Amino acid sequence: MGKKASFTAFKTKVVLDALKEKETLSELAKKYGVAPKQITDWKKEFLEKSGSVFGEEHSESKELKSLKAENERLLKKVGQLTIEVDFFAEACEAAGLKRK
């Protein structure tokens, strides 16, 4: 088995363990000697490409699309709330209601 195939098998093993969710990302990172962010990236890539296994080339699963839509909605809400907090903080400060 070549280096690339061996590394692909390693990544697959790590991702499958991550999908089982029996251990935390930190535990898996320590176990396999990779960064938690790397495991997250591999898992995301695996899920994005998983549809091609069943002939759905480059299509995202409904669950992944739903999660992306929910993420986008929440990011917009966080942005909106941040603007509101900033506005009210400035208004309180201008009214003399906010301590410095």
Considering the domain architecture, whether residues 30 and 5 belong to the same structural domain is answered as yes
Q: Looking at the structure, do residues 46 and 3 belong to the same domain, yes or no? A: yes
User: For 34-89, what is each residue's pLDDT tens digit?
Assistant: 999 999 999 998 888 887 777 655 556 778 888 889 999 999 999 999 999 999 99
Same domain, 52 and 77: no
Residues 9 and 41 in one domain: yes
Burial grade of 57 (CB within 10 A; 0-12, 13-18, 19 or more):
exposed
- Are residues 66 and 27 part of one domain? no
43 shares its domain with 82: no
Round to whole Å and give the CA distance between 15 and 52.
17
Q: How confident is the model at residue 3 (pLDDT cuts 50, 70, 90)?
A: low
Instruction: Looking at the structure, tell me whether residues 89 and 41 fall in a common domain.
Output: no
Using DSSP's 3-state secondary structure scheme, residue 84 falls into helix
Instruction: Verify that 8 and 52 share a domain, yes or no.
Output: yes
User: C-alpha distances in angstroms, 90 versus 77, 79, 99, 100?
Assistant: 20, 17, 11, 12
Identify the domain containing residue 100 by its residue range: 60-100
